[in-house]
Amino acid sequence: MPRAFSELTFTPAVRAHQERMGSARTYAKFIAGGPRQGHLIGDPEKEFIQARDGFYQSTVSETGWPYVQYRGGPTGFLKVLGPQAIGYADFSGNKQYISRGNLDGNDRIAMILMDYANRRRLKILGRVEFTEGETAAATLYPEEAEGPAERAVIIRVEALDWNCPSHITPRFTEAELRPHLNRLGQQLAELQAENQRLKQQLAKSG
């Protein structure tokens, strides 16, 4: 766990619970002095982020309740804009605007990006900025976009952390399965052709 992430998440209450459960010594190194790390997007993070077709995000309402939402789109709709910035074009949904309204009152956001097939996940903490209007969002449009976007969403990354793969159940999208299914389909076609050839040989010999 990078220091930047632990600085934001290891609150006094969290540290107290780590003490009670015997893990405080293990995690002490992540809050010790030294260079602040874990707030910049490197090449591995950039590749991972831009290969996703969705992510989970959490905001906090004025009532103090967290609100978790899934945001999806074509692969690559979430773009890396710099070492501490990611963004996407926000298209119209059901027009409840719960996350949008929450972020007006508290610009903090927590994100989890999942790669179920390879059992990888990246956690991101950041602050959100909006620029309203289709023109502002145009540079963030994914190639498969249909219709105008309502706004550009820019997330200033405060910290990120690669989470351990434990308990991630592998799941596969159709795109991830397609090469394997194509090979199986080809093998099946070859077996069917061979079976037909053998049947014809048996018929001739009989």
The identity of residue 185, as a single letter, is G
Phi, psi of 80 (to 5 degrees): -85, 125
Q: Which residue has the higher pLDDT, 177 or 47?
A: 47
- Alpha-carbon span 153 to 172, nearest angstrom: 28
pLDDT at 139: 87
- Alpha-carbon span 145 to 93, nearest angstrom: 14
Q: What angle do CA 63, 64, 70 make, to 5 degrees?
A: 100
Q: How confident is the model at residue 31 (pLDDT cuts 50, 70, 90)?
A: confident
pLDDT at 88: 95
Highest mean pLDDT among 34-38, 119-123, 143-147: 119-123
Please state the rounded mean pLDDT for residues 70-98.
Answer: 93
pLDDT at 35: 66
Question: Which whole-number Å values give the CA distances from 5 to 1, 8, 91, 125, 160, in the listed order?
Answer: 7, 5, 30, 8, 6
Q: How far is CA 113 from the centre of its chain?
A: 2
Per-domain residue ranges of the chain: 1-36, 38-171, 174-206
163, β-bridge pairs: 121
Q: Which of 24-38, 77-91, 109-123 has the lowest mean pLDDT?
A: 24-38
Please state the rounded mean pLDDT for residues 118-125.
Answer: 96
Query: Where are the alpha helices (H) located in 22-158, listed in sequence order?
Result: 24-27, 43-50, 98-105, 134-137
The DSSP call for residue 75 is: T
CATH numeric code, 38-171: 2.30.110.10
